[in-house]
Amino acid sequence: MKKHLWDSIKMLLVMTIFTGIIYPLAMTGIAQIIFPNQANGSMIKINGKLVGSRLIGQNFTSDRYFWPRPSAIGYNPLPSGGSNYGPTSDTLKDLVEMRRKEFIRLNGLPSNTRVPPDMLYASGSGLDPDISPEAAELQIGRVARARGFDLAQTARLRKLVQSHIQEPQLGFLGNTRVNVLELNIALDSLR
C-alpha cells in the first residue's frame, strides 16, 4: 500500500513539473520564435506608441470614427463576458430595438434600414474587434459628414472600407469582417 502511495506521489510530481512548467515554457518559447506578434497579443503600435490589439475591441464613440459592435462589459477585457440575456428576455428585446433606432438616427439612415445584427447584439465576450462589411458600409455617410469629406473623399473612404474587408479564415472559418481598430487607424491617415 505504501509503495503505491509513494509511486502515485512521484508520478504527480513528475507530471506537475512536466505539464505545469516544462511544457508551457517550451510552447511559449516556440510561439515567441515562430509567431512573435501573435504570441504577444497582436499589438498595434504607431510611431512606437501602443494603440491597441487587433484582437480586442475598443469603444470609438466619436462620429469621426467607425463604431464597433456593442459591448455588455464596456470593452473591459478583465471581466470578459456577455449580458447573458436569453432570446425570450424582454430586456434584450428592448435593448436591441433601442440600439436599432439609435444606429439609424445617429447614422442619418432611413427608418426602414435593415441594421446588421452585429450592431444590435453584443458579442459573447464583449470584446469582438470586428464588424460586418454591411455595418461598416452603413457608417460611411456619418464618418464622411463628421470629417467634412467631399464626394471624392467619400469615394476614397468607401474604397478604404472595401480594402479592409477580411475573408473568413481558411476560406470557411468565421464570417467576412472588418477590424474596426485597423480601419480607424487607416482612416486617420486618409487625406
pLDDT, tens digit, 9 for 90 and up, residues 17-55 = 999 999 999 999 999 999 888 888 788 888 889 898 899
Same domain flag for 73 and 160:
yes
Contact present, 182 and 54 (Cβ < 8 Å) = yes
Domain housing 32: 1-40
Instruction: Compute the distance between CA of residue 40 and CA of residue 186 in angstroms, rounded to an integer.
Output: 22
Same domain flag for 31 and 61:
no
pTM metric for this prediction: 0.81
Structural domain count, the chain: 2
Same domain flag for 90 and 180:
yes
Same domain flag for 134 and 57:
yes
Same domain flag for 51 and 26:
no
What pLDDT is recorded for position 190? 81
Hey, which residues does 26 pair with through a beta bridge?
none
What pLDDT is recorded for position 185? 95
Of 11-15, 19-23, 52-56, 65-69, which gets the smallest average pLDDT? Answer: 52-56
Residue partners of 51: CB distance under 8 A and separation at least 6: 44, 45, 181, 185
